[in-house]
Amino acid sequence: MPRFRRPKGTRDLGPAAAARFEEIRETFVDMAWEMGYRLVDVPALESRDLFARSTGEDTEIVEKQMYGLVDGGGRELALRPEGTPGLVRAAIEEGWLGGHNGERLAYFGPMFRYERPQKGRYRQFTQLGVEFLGIPGPEADAEVIRLLVSLLGELEIPHTLKLNTLGSPAERAAYTETLRDWLAEREMDLDEADRHNIARNPLRVLDSKREATMAATARAPRLDETVGDESAARFARVRGLLEKAGVDHEVDSRLVRGLDYYGHTVFEAVGREAAQDAYGGGGRYDGLVTALGGPDTPAVGFAAGVDRLAADGTFDDPEPPLWLVPLGEAARGAAWPLAAGLWEEGVAVQVAWNETGLRKALGRADTAGVRWVLILGDEEAEAGEVTLRDMAGGTQGRLPADAAALVAAMEDAE
Ligand code: AMP
């Protein structure tokens, strides 16, 4: 048993998993960039109050899941449970707002939630996401949704996009009251664990995945049917734009998302299998920037779970670098300048410093999936040469121990 173990709910990513995360990051950053989104990076540590104000004091995330701490100076801080509040805080503080065509920001980084341990749920996990600040129209909603869906497409992840409207803040508030009354009359039919939300946050009851609650609320008043004409027309516009961009979607009147700041469009990309966790989701949050002390700025965004994407996406295994195998004391001396020359030429090469015999070295290179091996025995070292072996065909030949000559030889053989 190792002496130290990782904290419960965290993960160690080995080279293969870390390479997947990196591939997702690059794919996301490139795709976002093509639509005008620029990567920014803000602290994982923020004031606790920021999340109480934005995510919502009454939400499960802030109340039960947030990692709070008091630093040496007595400041109440928290490890961010989600990205949006910190990004909006930074946009206000750093003066990133106010561009005529809005601001498109993208992020990728660790989030922290004290979750009940379960499959696919971690206490430190990674999210990527975007925030599009400053554009009130449905085009902005369609844009961020299109980016999320294209990213899933690029990673070859089958999914369904669910969409709903929460209406304007006033409509949402009115609906919340109607729903609260409706639920209060049926309290006993709900799963016990959901009952406390009737008074506190009735929308969350609709979000419940507990069977009794789902059955009892199947006929609950529907948000998409109670919103006014203006909100309904806006929602229809978003749907029309998605259709024109080839983005398939379903309306799900139960989709509410738990955070306080959403209004109008909300969406979630879910797996095709029942009871699977979502890949990501988001929505419009027009009131948040002012709630955090910034200028009146409409906004929409999404966040997706990188741990989820990495578990289900299709990835290329990175090719291992070429091996340079020095066999003997003189060879080890000659290997270093040769490796340095190859690195300068941009050739990916790793030196197998521990090898002492050719047969075993080739066996290990083969297991590692290496295509090219440079063998450097003492005899070759003396002659200023090296043997280049093509593991694919098993052919080999002696060449000058010169980086440029070796690069040319490998290019000829490809
Ligand atoms: P949320 O911010 O809760 O809407 O989460 C957006 C996405 O992040 C989810 O759909 C998940 O894919 C992912 N996610 C949220 N919480 C966790 C967690 N504790 N562990 C791993 N992934 C998570």
| 102-134 pLDDT tens trace | 999 999 999 999 988 888 899 999 999 999 999
Q: What is the pLDDT of residues 174-230, one digit of tens each?
A: 998 999 999 999 988 888 888 888 888 888 888 887 889 989 898 898 887 789 999
Q: Is the CB of 304 under 6 A from ligand 1?
A: yes
3-state secondary structure at position 362: helix
Q: Report the percent of the chain where pLDDT is more than 70.
A: 99
Q: Check residue 203 and give its pLDDT.
A: 86
- The average pLDDT across 355-368 equals 95
Pick from 111, 155, 126: nearest CA to 306: 126
Q: How far apart are CA 356 and CA 360, in angstroms?
A: 8
- Measured by CA distance, the residue closest to atom 17 of ligand 1 is 121
The answer to whether 202 touches 223, Cβ cutoff 8 Å, is: no
> What pLDDT does 313 receive?
86
Place of tokens 């919103």: 227
Region of poorest pLDDT, from 59-68, 243-252, 264-273, 281-290:
59-68
> Residue 377 pLDDT > 80, yes or no?
yes
Q: Which atom number of ligand 1 is nearest to the Cα of residue 257?
A: 4
- Range 242-259 average pLDDT: 89
Largest CA distance in the chain: 91
Please report the pLDDT score of residue 120 as a whole number.
87
User: Band of the pLDDT at 413, cuts 50, 70, 90?
Assistant: confident
The DSSP code for 345 is T
Q: Average pLDDT over the chain, rounded to whole?
A: 93
203-208: Cβ within 8 A, 24+ apart: 203/176, 203/179, 203/256, 203/258, 204/60, 204/256, 204/258, 205/179, 206/179, 206/254, 206/256, 207/254, 207/255, 207/256, 207/257, 207/258
Residue 127 Cβ inside 6 Å of ligand 1? The answer reads yes
Structure tokens at 302: 């999404």
Backbone angle region of 119, left / alpha / beta, with phi > 0 → left and psi within -120 to 50 → alpha: beta
DSSP 188: G
The reported pLDDT for the residue numbered 178 is 92
Take atom 18 of ligand 1 and give the residue whose Cα is closest. 121
Q: Which of 300, 306, 171, 148 is nearest to 229 (CA)?
A: 171
Does the beta carbon of 122 sit less than 6 angstroms from any atom of ligand 1? yes
- The packing angle between helices 403-413 and 329-344, to 10°, is 70
- Residue 59's SS3 state is coil
| Cβ neighbours of residue 185 closer than 8 Å, sequence gap 6 or more | none
Strands 160-165 and 250-251: parallel
Q: How far apart, in whole angstroms, are the C-alpha atoms of residue 296 and residue 298?
A: 7
**pLDDT value at residue 208:** 82
β 103-112/76-79 pair status? unpaired
Nearest atom in ligand 1 to 308's CA: 12
Q: In angstroms, rounded to a whole number, what is the distance separating the alpha carbons of residues 192 and 135?
A: 41
The reply to whether ligand 1 has any atom less than 6 angstroms from the CB of 121 is yes
Strongest mean pLDDT among 214-218, 222-226, 367-371, 407-411 = 367-371
Ligand 1 contact, 281 CB (< 6 A)? yes
| Residue of minimum CA distance from atom 15 in ligand 1 | 305
Pairing of the two strands 76-79 and 45-47: antiparallel
Cβ distance 133 to 299 under 8 Å? yes
In which element (H, E) is residue 175 found? helix 169-185
pTM for this predicted structure: 0.91
d(CA 344, CA 348): 10
Condensed to tens digits (0 to 9), the pLDDT of residues 257-284 reads: 767 788 899 999 999 876 668 999 999 9
370: enclosing H helix or E strand: none
Cβ atoms of 182 and 221 closer than 8 Å: yes
Phi and psi at 41, nearest 5°, equal -140, 125
Please report the pLDDT score of residue 36 as a whole number: 97
Give the per-residue pLDDT at 274. 66
Top mutation candidate among 121, 131, 204, 262 for ligand 1, by most atoms within 8 Å of CB: 121
Quick check: 83 and 109 in contact, CB under 8 A?
Answer: yes
308 Cβ closer than 6 Å to some ligand 1 atom:
yes
Give the Å distances, CA to CA, from 404 to 75, 199, 214.
Answer: 58, 73, 67
Q: Whose CA is nearest to atom 8 of ligand 1?
A: 305
Q: Is 310 in the pocket of ligand 1 (CB under 6 A)?
A: no
Give me 298's structure tokens. 């409409």
Q: Is 259 in the pocket of ligand 1 (CB under 6 A)?
A: no
**289 has a pLDDT exceeding 80:** yes
What pLDDT was estimated at residue 273? Answer: 77
pLDDT tens per residue, range 19-36? 999 999 999 999 999 999
Of 129, 141, 132, the C-alpha closest to 309 is 129
Looking at residue 334, its pLDDT comes to 94
Contact predicate 148/268, CB 8 Å: no
Q: Ligand 1 centroid vs 306 CA: distance in angstroms?
A: 8
Instruction: Tell which one of 115, 121, 127, 276 to mutate to probe ligand 1, the residue whose CB is within 8 A of the most ligand atoms.
Output: 127
Q: What does the pLDDT read at residue 275?
A: 64
Q: What angle do CA 51, 53, 58 make, to 5 degrees?
A: 85
pLDDT tens for 348-359 read: 999 999 999 999
Helix, strand, coil proportions of the chain in percent (round to 5)? 40, 20, 35
Kindly give the number of the ligand 1 atom that is closest to the alpha carbon of 278. Answer: 10
